[in-house]
Amino acid sequence: MTKQLTLSIDGVQVTVPEGTLVVDAAKMAGIDIPVFCYHPKMEPAGNCRMCLVEVGRPVIDRATGQAVMENGQPKIQFMPKLETACTNTVSEGMVVLTQTDKVTEGRKGTLEFLLTSHPLDCPICDKGGECPLQNLTVEHGPGKSRFLYDEKQHLAKHVPLGELIWLDRERCIQCARCIRFQDEIVGEAVLGFEARGRMTQIVSLSEPGFDSAFSGNTSDICPVGALTTADFRFGARPWELKASASVCSQCPVGCNTTFNTRREAKAGGEIVIKRAMPRQNEEVNEIWMCDKGRFAYHYAESAQRLVKPTIRQAKASWTDAFELVTQTFEASKSDVVVLASGRLSNEDLFNLKSLADGLGGKSILYTDMGGGDLTAQVGVGQGTDLGKLGKGDAILVVASDLYEEAPVWYLRVKQAADRGATLIVANSRHTKLERFAKYAIRYANGDEVKTVADLQGDGRIAQEFANAQNAVVFFGSDGLGLSGSADLAAACAKLLKDSNHVGKANNGLIGVWQRANDQGAWEMGFRPEADLASALKNKIVYIVGADPAGDDPALALALKGARFIVAQDILETLTTHMADVVLPAQAYTEREGTFTSGERRVQRFYAAVPARGETKADFAIAGEIGRRLGLNTENGSAMVTFDRLAVAVNDFAGLNYNKLAEVKSQWPIVGRGDLYYGGTTYENKQGLGVQLSTAAERGETVSLPEVRADSVLRPREDQLLAVPVTKLYDRGQTVASAELLAQRIGEPTVNLHPEAAKRLGVGAGGRVSLAFNGLNAEALVKIDDTISAGVVLVPRSMGLAVREPVSVQVLGLAEAKVS
Amino acid sequence: MRFVEPIWELSRGLARTFASLFEKPVTVQYPEEKREVRPRFRGRHVLKRYENGLEKCIGCSLCAAACPADAIFVEASENTDEKRFSPGERYASTYEINMLRCIYCGFCEDACPTEAIVLGDNYELSFTDRRQAIYPKEMLLEAVPDTAMITPRKVEPGVYKRSVPEMKDPQD
């Protein structure tokens, strides 16, 4: 336990741990010390001078080491000048004064200097209304400036740092929060200062500009309107926006978010989402979110939205559609196959599962990754917080590129490594996280299980992992298909169990799933099917929240062999075009529900905008079909569905909507009136969610499957082994419609080893054709010398249907443009 | 005394009535004849332009924020030199005032950082349904004296960079 110190701030006695900064101590006591450059998540910089206060310390007699007393009180020696509260740590008996004339004068002077060249164009500034500089100037600033108006510097107001973030040079006060965020928190130093003195400017040091998946956060913590997002540019004024809590649906991290909505004339008077902002949850996303979550929410507003049910592509009423679906299901009960994806909420999946079970049919999870049954047994224990991992703990990331697949986990794992946790990154190629790893292991594709098995040996890495106080394993599907990832999961589970890192907080297995609620789908009893194509043949297929036909031509072919297809989705897809009945569903922004994150935290999301057209929520549609079939499924309320789910599913026992909405006080304090402190992140008032307990934690018997030896697929002669990898920005339905991200999505690009490229006669930027399983596709080439020469990396959801490692014929098509 | 006083009072009143027959009448023959309004009269709003025809309104929405009746709706977009509405980066792509809601308090005028919205002297507003009471930007904008001054228009690049002009304290 750290030593506690007591100091007095404005006469209030405050007791805080040793090493606390004066500015934080004041915040804990509810006293405001204004800051611009200081941020509670970052190291102090002390360059804005806004936090100047009077600090006095007790005089210590050098001879005795005791405090010198004066009139029965310790004698306090004040420094002759003001001190910065953000760089001074507290000491016993310290006296801090924040409201004296000297301090007031100091603040006035600082603001007068900061405003010398500030354009004061608050009326057109996107930050206006939630701007720390604006607020603090009103509160502490001088009414008038002594500087000459004509001597103001006029700088560029419209500088794109990247295509997502715009810089207004005049507004910048050189606090360096953005630079420090990228350096310290993300570990990607893509921003920097250029020139000196009055000429100091922020510049992007990367190509393409501001090349980071976390760039949006800099606009949250920017204390002025210098950094604004292209997405929200002139979108609305902050005070006109309504806020509704949500959970990001782009990846299994489950970042807590807030959607800001407003009625808009451009959208024909509809209420639309104007921006997505992070919402504090210190155990999930802290106060951050990634750019994919921030900018890719537009898919729900796409013109391809389904708004009315159709029967054989002709518009129909809900009654007719329900009638037809019910009749078809009734007629061939056990032939019904429900194919659902992890894009759906727990309630949807529960009702779909109930429906499938009630009919005696099959329920299949649409995914290329296995192992969800193991995370339920040896997953991370209740109370797990990656933010608590540090010295003495170990984190293993295997077959996953966290930066691309789950950016906020990358951020948190990187920070755990910064705090001293042993980070082991095992992959077949270079990933961004490797730079922070204590041990980076490169294996050949196909050796994943063996690599993990080797970590149980006597090696140095194995010993360090086994002896770690706490250990967390992230496993993914980088370069793996369904069976490969399931095998890997089994190996990881065994590693954790044998080293006794299961059944407690901060220990266990985390799956880096392909969709937000894959974990929830596993919990509800959905299981993936190894041979999906033959499972669909000659069946009545009910496809929900998935586009198998669009993802893989082989599955499109398989669907042609299905007897009857019911497709339920929010957007028009190839699958809905093939369907006999199309049921339009509501996007998750239009309804409420819960997601289960990769860390098995169940979190609630709320409706932000009204539902489109005649759409219904997925759980309500499934519930209604169930009712018509005589099953007792809920068709109206998400809350009631959840209550039933909590009774039926063992791991959810005792949970209800109210429990999920419970909050507790979090540090740092953000999102209240004091935007200067934490930025414009929202305070969490709508629920932190509840983490599910694991079987290992409850003392139940954990039965792990036998770890299978890899059946390594080797490419045929003159062919390459194509392995699927996940990209952050792909052409998936939930990303592609974000116009802003188009540049980052780009064309399908495969990675080739320089030697392989040379053999094919292509260079970087050249084109190749890939032929496999009777399919043909073209892609651009990126040279990557960290992969093996016999491998080609194929991104998922980019129009190339590589769902598991497969041997492909690659042919060079064009000469290299750049070497 | 009992009789004299009422008679005296009555005739005093009648005399006053009779005398007013010869005074100049205060009534005017509205609508043929209109009385000039006072300098600070607050009538129907006008969105002003600069002398070069560019709109003064920059779409900042401060009028909407100040409006106690929630009568104003503003939506902003970005200017380009190819298609410029107002100086600076931002202009109002939608500007609507619901004249039925407006209470003519003039707070919008006070809030406006560019003196774009001004309550004019027109008090003769009439509509036959509620929708007509919502005045869009085209109705509120001042007319241009010359077709070359129409907005949006193409302007020389890099000239109109400032949204908020330098202003002096109001005089009257």
Residues in chain A: 819
Asked if B60 lies within 8 A of A265 by C-beta distance, the reply is no
Report the share of chain A in percent with pLDDT over 70.
99
| B 16-55 residues with CB < 8 A to A | none
Give which of B58, B72, B75 to mutate to test A binding, by max A Cβ within 10 Å: B75
The 10s digit of each residue's pLDDT in B4-44 is 899 999 999 999 999 999 998 888 999 999 989 998 999 99
Domain total in chain B: 1
Q: What is the mean pLDDT of residues A245-250?
A: 96
Q: Is residue B37 part of a domain?
A: no
Q: What is the mean pLDDT of residues A378-400?
A: 96
- CATH class belonging to A372-512: alpha beta
pLDDT higher than 60, residue A15: yes
Distance from CA of B70 to the nearest CA of A (A): 11
The 10s digit of each residue's pLDDT in A195-233 is 998 889 999 999 889 999 999 999 999 999 999 999 999
The pLDDT of residue A815 is: 53
- In CATH, what number does A149-296 get? 3.30.70.20
For chain B, give the mean pLDDT.
92
What burial class does residue A398 get, using C-beta atoms within 10 Å of its C-beta: 0-12 exposed, 13-18 middle, 19+ buried? buried
- Residue A818: pLDDT band by 50, 70, 90 thresholds? very low
Q: Which fold has domain A720-812?
A: Barwin-like endoglucanases (2.40.40)
Q: What is the mean pLDDT of residues A785-803?
A: 90
Can you point out the beta strands (E) in A86-231?
A: 95-97, 159-160, 165-167, 191-194, 201-204, 227-229
- Laid out side by side, the sheet with B134-135 consists of B72-78, B90-98, B134-135
C-alpha distances in Å from residue A105, one per residue of A50, A112, A297, A640: 11, 11, 46, 59
Check if A4-114 and A372-512 are the same fold: no
The pLDDT of residue B1 is: 63
B58 touches chain A (CB under 8 A): yes
The pLDDT of residue B94 is: 96
Grouping H, G, I as helix, E, B as strand and the rest as coil, residue A124 is: helix
Asked if A240 lies within 8 A of B94 by C-beta distance, the reply is no
Question: Considering all CA atoms of chain B, what is the largest pairwise distance in Å, rounded to the nearest integer?
Answer: 91
The 10s digit of each residue's pLDDT in A553-562 is 999 999 999 9
Residue in A124, A149, A266 nearest the CB of B88: A124
Report the share of chain B in percent with pLDDT over 90.
78
| Contacts across the A-B interface (CB distance below 8 Å) | 54
Chain A residues in contact with B163 (beta carbon < 8 A): 121, 123-124
| A 266-295 residues with CB < 8 A to B | 266
The 10s digit of each residue's pLDDT in A22-38 is 999 999 999 999 999 99
Q: Which CATH number fits domain A310-366+521-650: 3.20.20.10, 3.40.120.10, 3.40.50.740, 3.40.50.300?
A: 3.40.50.740
- CATH class belonging to A4-114: alpha beta
- Residue B169: pLDDT band by 50, 70, 90 thresholds? low
Q: Is residue B102 part of a domain?
A: yes
- Residue A711: pLDDT band by 50, 70, 90 thresholds? low
Distance from CA of B77 to the nearest CA of A (A): 6
The CATH number linked to B114 is 3.30.70.3270
- Residue B170: pLDDT band by 50, 70, 90 thresholds? low
A234 touches chain B (CB under 8 A): yes
- What DSSP string describes A480-547? --HHHHHHHHHHHHHHHHHTT--SSTT-EEEE--SSTTHHHHHHHT-B--TTHHHHHTTSEEEEES--
Distance from CA of A121 to the nearest CA of B (A): 6
Q: Which residue of A has its CA nearest to B79?
A: A234
Q: What is the mean pLDDT of residues A333-353?
A: 96
- Residue A817: pLDDT band by 50, 70, 90 thresholds? very low
Asked if A265 lies within 8 A of B94 by C-beta distance, the reply is yes
Higher pLDDT, A521 or A819: A521
Q: Is residue B117 part of a domain?
A: yes
Grouping H, G, I as helix, E, B as strand and the rest as coil, residue A373 is: helix
Q: Which residues of A149-180 are buried (b: 16+ CB within 10 A; e: fewer)?
A: eeebeebebebebbbbbbbbbbbbbbbbbbbb
Q: What is the mean pLDDT of residues B118-146?
A: 94
Report the share of chain A in percent with pLDDT over 90.
83
Domain boundary assignment for chain A: 4-114, 149-296, 310-366+521-650, 372-512, 720-812
Q: Are strands A508-511 and A471-475 parallel, antiparallel or unpaired?
A: parallel
**With the C-alpha atoms ordered A697, A702, A706, A711, is the resulting torsion angle positive or negative?**
negative
Residue in A121, A154, A264 nearest the CB of B163: A121
Alpha-carbon distance of A396 to A492, in angstroms, equals: 9
3-state secondary structure string across A438-478 = CEEEECCCCCHHHHHHHCCCCCHHHHHHHCCCCEEEEECCC
B88 touches chain A (CB under 8 A): yes
Range of the domain at B70: 45-149
